[in-house]
Amino acid sequence: MARSPELTSRIMSAIKSTNTSPELRLRRALWARGLRFRVHVKSLPGRPDIVFPRAKIAVFCDGDYWHGHNWALRGFMSLPEELATYKPYWREKILGNVRRDEVNNQKLTELGWTVIRVWESEIKAATQKWVDFIEASYRENLAKGTGQTGGGGRPQPVSGRPKSPVGKNSGD
């Protein structure tokens, strides 16, 4: 039996967009490593989940479903293949999120920020590897003089998602 639109709406509206379990897991691990950051900075495009202002790094903890990665977890060959099974509303909602992510990546890069996007499933599978990756990026940016207190250097732009430290491309 199919769910009513009202029930689907109630279920989907109950899903949190900030302070999700994967986001909190990553934040706790970064904090335990001694890295200090800001959260949900409204003044930056996309309102990144984790921000390192001195190193100019913006980290997004993206939900697999909402940001177009669910296809890889469900055995589809591509996002369009999975979206073909969705109702038009949800197809457009997810595609809109993906487009907005790309625009925000571009805006942040143009402002001199390094953008790191991590899938929730990757945080769950390999939190410490992502902490290592983020810490290495943080230290590299500080060493280059990137950031508000540095020598005005600019990080190398990250197009979309960086290569995953867990051995597979996180943009797949």
Backbone angles phi, psi at 21, to 5 degrees: -55, -45
What mean pLDDT do residues 36-53 have? 96
- Measured in whole angstroms, how far is the alpha carbon of residue 29 from the centre of its chain? 16
Per-residue pLDDT tens digits for 153-172: 333 334 345 555 555 444 43
The pLDDT, as a whole number, for residue 12 is: 57
- Burial environment of residue 114 by CB neighbours within 10 A (0 to 12, 13 to 18, 19 or more): buried
Per-residue pLDDT tens digits for 63-113: 888 778 888 777 888 888 888 888 898 889 889 989 999 999 999 999 999
CATH class label, 19-143: alpha beta
Per-residue pLDDT band for 117 (boundaries 50, 70, 90) equals: very high
The pLDDT, as a whole number, for residue 53 is: 96
- Name 118's bridge partners: 61
Contact (Cβ atoms closer than 8 angstroms) between residue 97 and residue 66: yes
Domain ranges of the chain: 19-143
HEC string of the chain equals CCCCHHHHHHHHHCCCCCCCHHHHHHHHHHHHCCCCCEECCCCCCCCCCEEECCCCEEEEEECCCCCCCHHHHHCCCCHHHHHCCCCHHHHHHHHHHHHHHHHHHHHHHHCCCEEEEEEHHHHHHHHHHHHHHHHHHHHHHHHCCECCCCCCECCCCCCCCCECCCCCECCC
How far is the CA of 170 from the CAs of 2, 31, 112, 136, in angstroms? 33, 23, 22, 17
Residue-averaged pLDDT of the chain: 82
